[in-house]
Amino acid sequence: IRRLNRYLMGWLGYFRLASAKTHLQTLDKWIRRRLRMCLWKQWKRVRTRIRELRALGVPEWACFKMANSRRGAWEMSRN
């Protein structure tokens, strides 16, 4: 994440004068979703997913529903 931050700050500094607000917002959404996907892939087991989701403050019924889902990591990163 540090390397990514450094890279993006340099990129933003270079293109500061351009009107790229919508492009940057789209890029920000994609990066956040990609990071959520990477976390979901790290939580390989159902019980790990339940534990980590509970730690994030997700209700217990939603934790069980999401942890037992058969959808892929990219789809689950939308939640």
Question: What's the pLDDT at 28?
Answer: 86
CB 39 within 8 A of CB 3: no
Question: What's the pLDDT at 8?
Answer: 74
Give, in order, the Cα–Cα distances in Å from 34 to each of 41, 59, 79.
11, 23, 12
Question: What's the pLDDT at 16?
Answer: 66
Question: What's the pLDDT at 68?
Answer: 92
Question: What's the pLDDT at 14?
Answer: 66
Tens-of-pLDDT digits for all 79 residues of the chain? Answer: 777 777 777 766 666 666 667 777 888 899 999 999 999 999 999 999 999 999 999 999 999 999 999 999 999 888 7
Q: Please give the backbone phi and psi of residue 44, each rounded to the nearest 5 degrees, phi first.
A: -75, -35
